[in-house]
């Protein structure tokens, strides 16, 4: 995307879709891109599952997926759905009866894997259960579990194979007058995933759940997901996302929001701009940033903070953020507030001082918002 000097990138234009609902969360249409993760507790362990859902919610997730591999899980789902603070997507892989049970147990959405769910008649029964219980569906096509006939046709998972599977099952839902569904066409290979989503986007206006499946551990999976999902989002493709990591589910949510913040799509919480540190640094930048991010992890209000170890780039970065810190030498550092040099920090705890400034800044923002909401509207 070319830009003239000093002009920002063009705003991302999202692909036009109709909207579907997952509980009270809208997906597609004009709705913001939602973030989701998945519990990794044993679903019949209701207390552990609900506790993890709360942790995922606190990280910022809008939706949570819960695995339902057996009848004990769908029985537990009745209590989990009733008590959950997030809408539940029931993850169904093999037995269609689990999907029916999950819909009846209060799931807001059913994630079904077309390659594993069974015959057309079984899919129709799932559709009926979804209709009867105001439940949406995600057609979850995966390169690792394509239908036998499609694999025989294409010989291996390809973008065209993923798209054919998705369109076939979308036609089944349409033919049965069911339109409250979204689609995913995932693979662990980013090029295969990207190609499948791009091809599918030209053929159907259904909202997309995007992700790179089985992306890997926290570091490698973050890089892999950022490349794949970042590319799709820049192309305007994607209505709800999950970053799939072999890590704590809350970390998936944090990475997803970092990705969305970086692209300027959805801002939540504190964004830290920091230098990599070098011999010019006037304080330990790495440990300072780690502590600040940890202590400000509870904040939802968008705030930008710069932590720069010296005066080479520090003042310039600080002029564009809410709270800035620049190393000045001899235990004296410059603090910026709203881009303006405010005061010097001398022989004080850097972390606690910056945390206090950010929290005070957030309080002022929230106070202003509250005043605007309560202020009576003038009439002509």
Distance CA 50, CA 306 (A): 36
Q: What are phi and psi for residue 147, nearest 5 degrees? A: -60, 150
Instruction: Report the side by side order of strands in the sheet with 109-112.
Output: 181-186, 136-142, 109-112, 88-92, 63-67, 34-38, 240-241, 209-210
Q: What are phi and psi for residue 62, nearest 5 degrees? A: -100, -25
Residue 114 has what pLDDT? 66
In the chain, what is the straight-line distance between the N-terminal and C-terminal CA atoms, in Å?
46
DSSP state string for 179-217: --EEEEEE-SSHHHHHHHHHHHHTT----BEE--TT--B
Residue 366 has what pLDDT? 86
- What's the gap between Cα 113 and its chain centre? 21
Handedness of CA 16, 269, 256, 116 (dihedral sign): negative
pLDDT in tens, 121-140: 888 899 999 999 999 999 99
Q: Which residues of the chain have pLDDT under 70?
A: 1-10, 114-115, 370-380
Residue 369 has what pLDDT? 73
The CA-atom distances, in angstroms, between 227 and each of 14, 34, 184, 332 are 18, 19, 17, 39
Q: What is the pTM of this model?
A: 0.87
């Amino acid at each position: 995307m070319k830009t003239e000097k000093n002009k920002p990138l063009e705003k991302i234009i999202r692909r036009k879709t109709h909207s579907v609902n997952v509980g009270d969360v809208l997906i597609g249409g004009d709705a913001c891109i939602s973030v989701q993760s998945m519990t990794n507790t044993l679903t019949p362990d209701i207390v552990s599952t609900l506790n993890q859902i709360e942790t995922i919610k606190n990280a910022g997730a809008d939706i949570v997926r819960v695995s339902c591999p057996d009848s004990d899980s769908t029985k537990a789902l009745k209590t989990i759905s009733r008590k959950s603070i997030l809408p539940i997507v029931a993850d169904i892989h093999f037995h269609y009866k689990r999907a029916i049970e999950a819909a009846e147990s209060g799931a807001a959405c059913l994630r079904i894997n077309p390659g594993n769910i069974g015959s057309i008649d079984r899919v129709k029964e799932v559709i009926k259960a979804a209709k009867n219980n105001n439940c949406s569906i995600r057609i979850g096509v995966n390169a690792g579990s394509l239908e036998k006939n499609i694999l025989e046709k294409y010989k291996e998972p390809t973008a065209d194979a993923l798209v054919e599977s998705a369109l076939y099952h979308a036609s089944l839902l349409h033919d049965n007058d069911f339109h409250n569904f979204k689609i995913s066409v995932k693979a662990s290979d980013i090029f295969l995933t990207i190609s499948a989503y791009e091809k599918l986007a030209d053929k159907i206006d259904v909202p997309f759940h995007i992700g790179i499946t089985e992306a890997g551990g926290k570091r490698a999976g973050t890089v892999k997901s950022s490349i794949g999902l970042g590319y799709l989002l820049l192309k305007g493709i994607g209505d709800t996302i999950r970053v799939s990591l072999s890590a704590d589910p809350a970390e998936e949510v944090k990475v997803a929001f970092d990705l969305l913040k970086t692209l300027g799509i959805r801002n939540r919480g504190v964004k830290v701009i920091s230098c990599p540190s070098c011999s010019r640094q006037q304080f330990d930048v790495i440990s300072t940033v780690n502590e600040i991010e940890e202590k400000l992890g509870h904040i939802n209000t968008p705030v930008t903070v710069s932590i720069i170890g010296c005066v080479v780039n520090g003042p310039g970065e600080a002029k564009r953020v809410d709270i800035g810190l620049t190393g000045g030498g001899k235990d004296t550092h410059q603090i910026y507030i709203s881009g303006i040099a405010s005061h010097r920090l001398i022989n004080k705890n850097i972390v606690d001082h910056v945390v206090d400034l950010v929290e005070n800044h957030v309080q002022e923002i929230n106070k202003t918002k509250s005043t605007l909401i309560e202020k009576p509207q003038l009439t002509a």
